[in-house]
Structures are given as structure tokens and as C-alpha cells.
């Protein structure tokens, strides 16, 4: 499906989201001195999550036809921990991989290989199993994810990836400038910003991605969470993940109608899963893993 634009070639609803995200972020920073600190942390977490959803849209060619303009819209390092260009590279790799969920091929897989599992001790295995529960993903996920990204990126840079090195160097400067603006200029305590924009923002994003991919033989490996308006808007309908993977060019505000028109809900139900909302995920998988961490194609002899 072609990009959904007006005669001007611009998706104005996505532009409106970009204005709202950045405007709300500045407003929360400005009001942080008068608002209770838990409110500031919660607001920063929600806005950083929404910003991440906006970045995801820009990676897929929204709201402009120009890749440079889209990158400009999504480039602010609001959550501090991940360069936009790094996210763009690996997310595109995720969409292009032939074996979704395969930890050796899919850059966004949460499964591990049999060899990785066998190399773990009891404590590490327990942590990985906990990470496959929704509660574990929300609490343990942010530090585990951020540390994993940093270790992986440092390894790739040591191997000679100069492009990554340039991106991370530029990101370090941009993130330091943003942190100085937040803490020195706007007067937001550093710990509040890290707890809100970095930790809570990452946690809420990981809730969206918690079980959006699951290995299924012969059916879609992308799930759908039919959430209400709040989470759907927060995630810019990326919770309809199978529909997004089936046609990444569809703008976020068209995904629900596109799912109805193409049978996307039925396809998800027959594959990775169709869930009625995040409360259902919490009820079913709050303290129980939705799947074993070892990729299903490598479990023979491991779990017996």
C-alpha cells in the first residue's frame, strides 16, 4: 500500500503527533518545579514512550516522503540511551529478516539459542525466565535491554563498524546537550528524568513489544493486541503488530481499518496471538512466561 498522504504529500496527523509530543515534553519540563515528582516521572515516561512510537513511524516513511525530514522529526534523543540512526538500522533489519524470532537472524528477537541457554548458570537462567513474564519485562527489562544494546554496539564498533562509531559519537554529544538543557536550564533533577524518560519510557515500550512476536510454524509470527484508545494512541497502533508487519507503509491511523479490511485479526489469532488488551496480558502472563526463552526450533534435548 502506498503512503497515505494529502495532496501536499504530508501526513498531517503524524505531524500533529510530532508537535504534541515535543510540546508536551517541553511543558512537563517547564512545570516540573511545581508538579509532584511522581507526576513528573509518570508524564516523562508516557511522553518518551509516545516519542518512541513517533520514531517508529518516521523509520517507516512517515509523515514526509523525505527520509531526511523524517529523521529530523525523530532524531531528538529524548530517552537518552539509543541513537535514532542505530534504531533505524536494526529495526529495518528486523523487518527484512526471513526468519522472524530467530535469535541468530532477527535483531529484535527475545529468544536465545540453545548454546546460549546451556552456557548460563542457574541465576542467569532464572533472570531470563523472569524476563519472559510481563512483570519481569517491565521491571528487569529496561536495564537488561539498555545494557545489552551497549555491549552489542561496543562489540560491533571494536570489530570496525565505523558508521556505528560515528553515530554513537554524535549521539553522545546530542544526549549530553539534552541532559544539560533538562537539568541545568529547565531545573529537572537528573534522577527524575532518568526514572521517567529512560527507565519508565523503556519499560512501557517493552510492554508493547512483550509478546508481539512468537514462533509459529506455518502462520504469522506477529501478534495483535486490540487495546483501547489510550494504549493504541500511545503506541500509534503498533500494538496491531501483525497488520503493521504485513504492510509497514500503512500510516498508524489507518491500521485499525486496514486490519478489518484484510482479515488481520483473524490471521493473528491463527498465529502468534490475538489479545483483547494489556490487562489480558497482565492476567495471563504477569508472573508466567508467555513462552520458554529457548527458540522452539532448538529446544530438542534442552527442556527434557
Please indicate, yes or no, if residue 285 is contained in any of the structural domains.
yes
Three cell numbers, residue 34: 511545581
pLDDT of residue 301: 74
pTM for the whole structure: 0.95
Tell me the three state secondary structure of residue 222.
Answer: strand
Please indicate, yes or no, if residue 199 is contained in any of the structural domains.
yes
Please indicate, yes or no, if residue 231 is contained in any of the structural domains.
yes
Give the range of the structural domain holding residue 59, as residue numbers without chain letter. Answer: 12-298
pLDDT of residue 2: 43
Please indicate, yes or no, if residue 1 is contained in any of the structural domains.
no
Please indicate, yes or no, if residue 243 is contained in any of the structural domains.
yes
Structure letter (DSSP) for residue 231? H
Please indicate, yes or no, if residue 304 is contained in any of the structural domains.
no
pLDDT of residue 4: 52
pLDDT of residue 1: 41
Question: Total structural domains in the chain?
Answer: 1
C-alpha 250/C-alpha 124 separation (Å) is 40
In the chain, which residues have pLDDT < 50?
A: 1-3, 6-7
Please indicate, yes or no, if residue 86 is contained in any of the structural domains.
yes
Backbone angles phi, psi at 216, to 5 degrees: -135, 135
Provide the 10 A C-beta neighbour count for residue 170: 15
Backbone angles phi, psi at 4, to 5 degrees: -95, 95
Please indicate, yes or no, if residue 230 is contained in any of the structural domains.
yes
Cα four-point dihedral sign 105, 108, 111, 116: positive
Amino acid at each position: 500500500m502506498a503512503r497515505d498522504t494529502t495532496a501536499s504529500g504530508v501526513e498531517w496527523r503524524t505531524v500533529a503527533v510530532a508537535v504534541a509530543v515535543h510540546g508536551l515534553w517541553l511543558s512537563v519540563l517547564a512545570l516540573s518545579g511545581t508538579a509532584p515528582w511522581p507526576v513528573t516521572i509518570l508524564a516523562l515516561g508516557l511522553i518518551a514512550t509516545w516519542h518512541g512510537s513517533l520514531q517508529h513511524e518516521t523509520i517507516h516513511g512517515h509523515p514526509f516522503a523525505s527520509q531526511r525530514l523524517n529523521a529530523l522529526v525523530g532524531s531528538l534523543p529524548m530517552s537518552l540511551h539509543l541513537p535514532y540512526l542505530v534504531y533505524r538500522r536494526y529495526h529495518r533489519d528486523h523487518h527484512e529478516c526471513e526468519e522472524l524470532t530467530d535469535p541468530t537472524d532477527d535483531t529484535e528477537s527475545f529468544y536465545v539459542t540453545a548454546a546460549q541457554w546451556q552456557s548460563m548458570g542457574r541465576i542467569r537462567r532464572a533472570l531470563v525466565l523472569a524476563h519472559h513474564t510481563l512483570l519481569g519485562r517491565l521491571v528487569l527489562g529496561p536495564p537488561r535491554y539498555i545494557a545489552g544494546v551497549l555491549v552489542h554496539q561496543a562489540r560491533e564498533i571494536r570489530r570496525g563498524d565505523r558508521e556505528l562509531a560515528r553515530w554513537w559519537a554524535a549521539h553522545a554529544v546530542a544526549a549530553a546537550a539534552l541532559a544539560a538543557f533538562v537539568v541545568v536550564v529547565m531545573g529537572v533533577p537528573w534522577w527524575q528524568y532518568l526514572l521517567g524518560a529512560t527507565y519508565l519510557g523503556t519499560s512501557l515500550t517493552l510492554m508493547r513489544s512483550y509478546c508481539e512476536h512468537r514462533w509459529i510454524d506455518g502462520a504469522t509470527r506477529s501478534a495483535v493486541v486490540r487495546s483501547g484508545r489510550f494504549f493504541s494512541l500511545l503506541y500509534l497502533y503498533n500494538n496491531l503488530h501483525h497488520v503493521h508487519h504485513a504492510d509497514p507503509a500503512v500510516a498508524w491511523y489507518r491500521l485499525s481499518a486496514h486490519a478489518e479490511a484484510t482479515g488481520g485479526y483473524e490471521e493473528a489469532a491463527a498465529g502468534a496471538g490475538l489479545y483483547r488488551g494489556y490487562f489480558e496480558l497482565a492476567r495471563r502472563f504477569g508472573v508466567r512466561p508467555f513462552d520458554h526463552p529457548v527458540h522452539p526450533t532448538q529446544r530438542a534435548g534442552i527442556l527434557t
